[in-house]
Amino acid sequence: MAGSYFQHVPSLAAFHAQQMQKRDCIRSERLLVGLNCFSRGQTQRAHAHGAADKFYLVLSGKARITVGTEVREAGPGTLAWAPAGVSHAVDEALEDAVVLVVMAPPPRAESRVETPSGPRD
Amino acid sequence: MAGSYFQHVPSLAAFHAQQMQKRDCIRSERLLVGLNCFSRGQTQRAHAHGAADKFYLVLSGKARITVGTEVREAGPGTLAWAPAGVSHAVDEALEDAVVLVVMAPPPRAESRVETPSGPRD
């Protein structure tokens, strides 16, 4: 936060050809706010958080997102809500995509179940 | 949620000439996600939440936002972080503005301190 309560979120986006990039915006006891930055074709495998609620909000680009058994091609302004215990994934970025990710409370290792294997949150 | 994990957030925006409009997107035990929709000139007075962290993310338009002693003219993509106990306000919408509001945990009447008087969250 560097002493400021304000951030310009799109300016924090960063992409890497090898893997999806994460940037934390806020981390408190109650809340994690970050960016997941997907180059076209990148993915985040299906996983669930046992004791945390999470949502994705697509800020730019487009991605195919699954929550539970629902699948959507999600563009800017689409919010995907994954309550605790519900499996969710970014199946594929259809364009370079910047996705706001919010979790409450922030993830702890013991609260995550990956199905069948996957990257960090 | 109407049975879906997905919502298109900008489609939920609604304005009213008399007062700022609120729309809930998600409410769980851990998290509240909603929209605050300001017509140009509308405000949200300074207040603080004693036991909840909150952020605003401007989705469209522009507003002058204060957190603590920092004041910014915030446009799309600007995130304003108001941790528990820190006073925050939308001093004035400089254009019609749609602002995502996230709180963890969701507000309860007893956790809010208004300074000196103000609307709901």
Q: What is the dihedral of CA B90, B32, A26, B62, to 10 degrees?
A: -30
* Lowest-confidence region among A73-87, A104-118, B38-52, B83-97: A104-118
Q: What is the pLDDT of residue A107?
A: 79
> Longest C-alpha distance within chain B, in Å?
42
Give the residue on A whose Cα is nearest the Cα of B76. Answer: A8
A99 contacts on B by Cβ (under 8 Å):
none
Topology, domain B20-114: Jelly Rolls (2.60.120)
Q: Which residue of B has its CA nearest to A105?
A: B30
**Cβ–Cβ of A55/B33 closer than 8 Å?**
yes
Q: Do residues B117 and B44 lie in contact, with contact meaning Cβ atoms separated by under 8 Å?
A: no
Secondary structure string (H, E, C) spanning B35-50: EEEECCCCCEEEEEEC
Residue A88 confidence (pLDDT): 98
Q: Domain A25-106, what fold?
A: Jelly Rolls (2.60.120)
The pLDDT of residue B1 is above 50: no
The reported pTM is 0.89
Give bridge partners of residue B55 from the DSSP assignment. B81, B102
Rounded mean pLDDT, A25-29: 95
pLDDT, average across residues A96-106:
97
Residue B45 · residue B117 · CB < 8 Å: yes
Which chain A residues are closer than 8 Å to B74 by Cβ?
6
- State the pLDDT at residue A77: 97
Identify the pLDDT of residue B116: 54
Q: Is the pLDDT of residue B109 over 90?
A: no
What is the residue extent of each domain of chain A?
A: 25-106
Please compute the mean of the pLDDT values over residues A50-59 and round it to a whole number. Answer: 96
- Judge whether B68 is closer than 8 Å to chain A, CB to CB: yes
Candidate from A6, A77, A78 with C-beta closest to B78: A6
